[in-house]
Homo-oligomer: A and B are copies of this chain.
Amino acid sequence: MTDFSEWFHNILEEAEIIDIRYPVKGMHVWQPQGFKIRKYTLDILRKLLDKTHEEVLFPLLIPEDELAKEAIHVKGFEEEVYWVTHGGLTELNKKLALRPTSETGMYPMFALWVRNHSDLPFRFYQIVNTFRYETKHTRPLIRVREITTFKEAHTVHATHEECEEQVEKAVQIYSEFFDTLGIPYTITKRPQWDKFPGAEYTMAFDTILPDGKTLQIGTVHNLGQTFARTFDITYETTEGEHEYVYQTCYGVSDRVIASIIGIHGDEKGLCLPPAVAPYQIVIVPILFKKGAEEVLEFCRNMADNLRNAGLRVHLDKRDLRAGKKFYEYEMRGVPLRMEIGPRDIENKNAVIFRRDKLEKETISIESDTFNEEIKSILDDISKNMKDKAWGSFNRFIRFADTIEEAKKGIEENKGIVSFNWCGDEACGKELEEKVHVDILGIQEENISGCNCINCEKPAKCKTLIAKTY
């Protein structure tokens, strides 16, 4: 993959994931193949969240006065908000914002919903489209003006301590989510100048795309009482006092799908984790004039059999050269291909081809545990893809003792450089300029016995820098 950006655009088109020709900049169409990957990805996420959260759905439009209430928050978004000013031929009395994120739409309702301590904690999430008038260069799934897949969770608690616990839980949920998809990540605490507008602090997940630039793929914010005070969200304690609540929120977006595609893909195209592949298995019958119907019949039974075992299977009966089909399914990233011809049936064998290893293997189709074996091969594919992705990821991370080493690391190795830092904002910003990078965040706090890479005062934290998307 010499030019990742070009590869990424090409594969989105060739595999029919996203059509970028929609006539509004930064807004794209999910095609059927892409939609399915998105759907299975969201199924995994919902399953994780539904254990402890409830799904809701809030309106898209936020009145101007609600959006403006929380001053720090609105300052963070005001340059990016799309405004609805007219309904039909009439100018609206009050402008309506397309949500850039939903705090200011949800929290006035939370103020009505929370009454007393027994209502708490509550944990809601929604999966919606949000809008940002991006002025930077847009890229499908990575930097868009309509974020079509914005999963945002919002929780409300009685104490600051519970909030901290919820941040931990959210980090665990996202870790499990990315692990299932085989997406490697770092978890850092964003520097104060880069936290979510209105938050006490922000924890962030970043992955690394094949060009060595990091991509933020998830964030978890401890909001403290900032929004509770702005939107007057209070609860009655057991003693009858009214106290402001504590809140967290956390989100992931379309970028998860960009990561699945970018991180696992290769020169041959997509390579999809079985968990999200529209088809996990494709069966290609190898047909000759003689015995074609028997082979087809055999393949149909096998496909039904595997489907009954809960797998997503496609039987490709098209009258096309097998080689052409192989090319197509490799490009589309189907995890497992099975080829079955008359001789295979005779020998009670099938040829399988693993997309992750690009290797053929012959397996017996006779055994009673055939379906289980196929499932365990798919599990092995998931595991192998994850290991491979973490391998590449780790090669992108270097430790630097000096600014020179950091510069060299970023220039030669791309990816992430890890170093010791004093934690001071002015020093951090100077360092960002010197190395032409962004500070991702703090990976480890309260370190001692070493000095800051930049100002040489005692270092307080192990910190990561990178060129970012």
The chain B residue with its CB closest to the CB of A112 is B21
Are A124 and B32 in contact, with the CB atoms below 8 A? yes
Chain B min CB distance to A207 (Å): 24
The chain B residue with its CB closest to the CB of A128 is B129
Chain A 56-99: CB-based contact to B (< 8 A → 1; otherwise 0): 11111101001000000000001111111111111000001010
Q: Which of A23-31, A209-217, A306-314 is near enough to bind chain B?
A: A23-31
A458 interfacial by beta-carbon distance below 8 Å: no
Are B86 and A85 in contact, with the CB atoms below 8 A? yes
A35 interfacial by beta-carbon distance below 8 Å: yes
Q: A56-B29, A57-B30, A124-B32 are in contact. Are A87 and B23 (CB under 8 A)?
A: no
Q: A23-B66, A78-B89 are in contact. Are A58 and B84 (CB under 8 A)?
A: no
Chain B neighbourhood of A39, CB < 8 A: 55
CA distance A177 to B316 in the complex (A): 31
Q: A83-B85, A88-B133, A133-B87 are in contact. Are A31 and B19 (CB under 8 A)?
A: no
A330 interfacial by beta-carbon distance below 8 Å: no
Are A27 and B80 in contact, with the CB atoms below 8 A? no
Give the contact-size bracket for chain A.
35 or more
Contact of A24 among B19, B32, B96, B98 (CB under 8 A): B96
Are B23 and A108 in contact, with the CB atoms below 8 A? yes
| Main SS class of interface, A | mixed
The chain B residue with its CB closest to the CB of A31 is B56
Chain B neighbourhood of A98, CB < 8 A: 84
Q: A61-B24, A146-B61 are in contact. Are A84 and B83 (CB under 8 A)?
A: yes
Chain B min CB distance to A98 (Å): 7
The chain B residue with its CB closest to the CB of A90 is B133
Q: A23-B108, A27-B59, A63-B24 are in contact. Are A84 and B84 (CB under 8 A)?
A: yes
Are B59 and A35 in contact, with the CB atoms below 8 A? no
Chain A 102-136: CB-based contact to B (< 8 A → 1; otherwise 0): 00010011001000000000001000010001010
A180 interfacial by beta-carbon distance below 8 Å: no
Chain B min CB distance to A12 (Å): 14
Chain B neighbourhood of A159, CB < 8 A: none
Contact of A84 among B19, B32, B66, B82 (CB under 8 A): B82
Are A129 and B60 in contact, with the CB atoms below 8 A? yes
Chain B neighbourhood of A60, CB < 8 A: 27, 60, 129, 146
Chain B min CB distance to A136 (Å): 13
Contact of A85 among B38, B85, B124 (CB under 8 A): B85
Are B56 and A32 in contact, with the CB atoms below 8 A? yes
Chain B min CB distance to A36 (Å): 8
Chain B min CB distance to A203 (Å): 26
Chain B min CB distance to A146 (Å): 5
A54 interfacial by beta-carbon distance below 8 Å: yes
Q: A83-B84, A87-B133, A89-B78 are in contact. Are A29 and B58 (CB under 8 A)?
A: yes
Chain B neighbourhood of A19, CB < 8 A: 109, 112
A186 interfacial by beta-carbon distance below 8 Å: no
Are A29 and B109 in contact, with the CB atoms below 8 A? yes
A454 interfacial by beta-carbon distance below 8 Å: no
A371 interfacial by beta-carbon distance below 8 Å: no
* Cross-chain pairs A/B with CB under 8 angstroms, 16 sampled: A21-B112, A22-B58, A22-B59, A22-B105, A23-B66, A29-B109, A30-B56, A30-B58, A32-B124, A39-B55, A59-B148, A79-B88, A82-B86, A83-B85, A85-B86, A88-B135
5 nearest CB pairs, A to B: A87-B133, A32-B54, A30-B57, A27-B59, A79-B88
Known: A30-B56, A81-B88. 18 other contacts (CB 8 A): A19-B109, A21-B109, A22-B59, A22-B105, A22-B109, A23-B108, A24-B59, A24-B61, A29-B57, A29-B58, A39-B55, A60-B146, A81-B87, A82-B86, A83-B87, A84-B85, A85-B86, A87-B133
